[in-house]
């Protein structure tokens, strides 16, 4: 595939206070972008001489596979918009790009995501941020616990660990938090706990009640959990944990 130095796409942004736009990232003076694509649905930007530049064939292949995986998980054959991905090499560079140190970010209004690719961190090799952008454009903007939970579940693992096994590990090591607290205080919790638990619970909802129910909860917010499942949060938690208690795992380093 052909590489090029300039790409003329300008995406309107509805609310810059909440969402960083494509143009803001592309014109960031800390970076000089080289651009490439995997398909008409995904264009990615990176820096010349970077890890991505040296591993470009691998990056193209893996990104293409992740996009296909996300579409399959969501249940669509095609996404009718272009997703733009900006790739940096470290969390320090990410701070220069988006304003804070993180492994990745999704800006659904401009169909733009960011990620890291290096010999140490490869957050671009994940469904997570692609899922955020596509799902929020198709299903709308939900409560954060189900948004992050489904994004984690789209990879079906967290830090290379099975979601149910990691949930059992957190319980066994006194790091579990109640479902009520997870839903209410998601942003305040340790992300090493909140993200895998949300992923585990949304996986349980999907496996038990089906994707239509999950989408209804996504669109109708947390208040509709009982409406669509027939059970309270406490009852759902008890049922979920009955499944988790049956899980066994070998050594987990987490």
pLDDT one digit per residue (tens) for the chain, 254 residues: 433 332 223 233 333 334 788 999 999 999 999 999 998 999 999 999 999 999 999 999 999 999 999 999 999 999 999 999 999 999 999 999 999 999 999 999 999 999 999 999 999 999 999 999 999 999 999 999 999 999 999 999 999 999 999 999 999 999 999 999 999 999 999 999 999 999 999 999 999 999 999 999 999 888 889 999 999 999 999 999 999 999 999 999 99
Residue 214 is predicted with a pLDDT of 97
Residue 16 is predicted with a pLDDT of 31
Alpha-carbon distance 64 to 70, whole Å? 10
Distances (CA, A) of 48 to 3, 94, 123, 128, 210: 11, 16, 19, 25, 45
- Which pTM was predicted? 0.90
Residue 57 is predicted with a pLDDT of 96
Residue 250 is predicted with a pLDDT of 93
Alpha-carbon distance 246 to 185, whole Å? 27
Alpha-carbon distance 16 to 25, whole Å? 12
**Beta bridge partner(s), residue 36:** 44
Domain borders along the chain are: 22-139, 144-245
Residue 15 is predicted with a pLDDT of 35
Residue 11 is predicted with a pLDDT of 31
Encoding tokens for residue 192?
Answer: 């090493």
Alpha-carbon distance 157 to 148, whole Å? 13
Residue 13 is predicted with a pLDDT of 31
3-state secondary structure of 114: strand
Who contacts 116 (Cβ-Cβ below 8 Å, separation ≥6)? 87, 88, 89, 90, 91, 93, 94, 103, 104, 122, 123, 124
Residue 106 is predicted with a pLDDT of 96
Alpha-carbon distance 165 to 195, whole Å? 14
Which CATH class for the 22-139 domain? Answer: alpha beta
């Amino acid at each position: 595939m052909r590489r090029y130095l300039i790409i003329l796409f300008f995406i309107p942004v509805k609310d810059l206070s909440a969402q960083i736009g494509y143009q803001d990232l592309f014109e960031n003076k800390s970076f000089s972008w080289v651009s490439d694509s995997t398909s008409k649905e995904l264009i990615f930007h990176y820096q010349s001489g970077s890890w991505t530049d040296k591993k470009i064939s691998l990056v193209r292949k893996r990104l293409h596979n992740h996009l296909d995986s996300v579409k399959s998980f969501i249940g669509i054959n095609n996404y009718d918009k272009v997703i733009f991905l900006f790739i940096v090499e470290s969390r320090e560079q990410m701070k220069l790009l988006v304003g804070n140190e993180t492994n990745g970010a999704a800006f659904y209004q401009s169909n733009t995501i960011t990620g890291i690719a290096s010999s140490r961190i490869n957050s671009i090799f994940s469904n997570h941020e692609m899922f955020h952008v596509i799902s929020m454009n198709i299903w709308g903007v939900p409560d954060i616990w189900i948004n992050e939970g489904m994004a984690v579940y789209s990879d079906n693992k967290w830090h290379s660990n099975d979601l149910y096994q990691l949930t059992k590990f957190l319980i066994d090591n006194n790091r579990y938090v109640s479902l009520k607290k997870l839903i209410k205080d998601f942003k305040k919790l340790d992300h090493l706990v909140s993200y895998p638990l949300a992923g585990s619970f949304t996986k349980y909802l999907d496996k038990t009640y089906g994707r239509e129910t999950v989408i209804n909860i996504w669109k109708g917010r947390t208040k509709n959990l009982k409406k669509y499942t027939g059970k309270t949060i406490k009852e759902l938690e008890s049922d979920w944990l009955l499944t988790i208690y049956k899980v066994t795992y070998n050594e987990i380093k987490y």
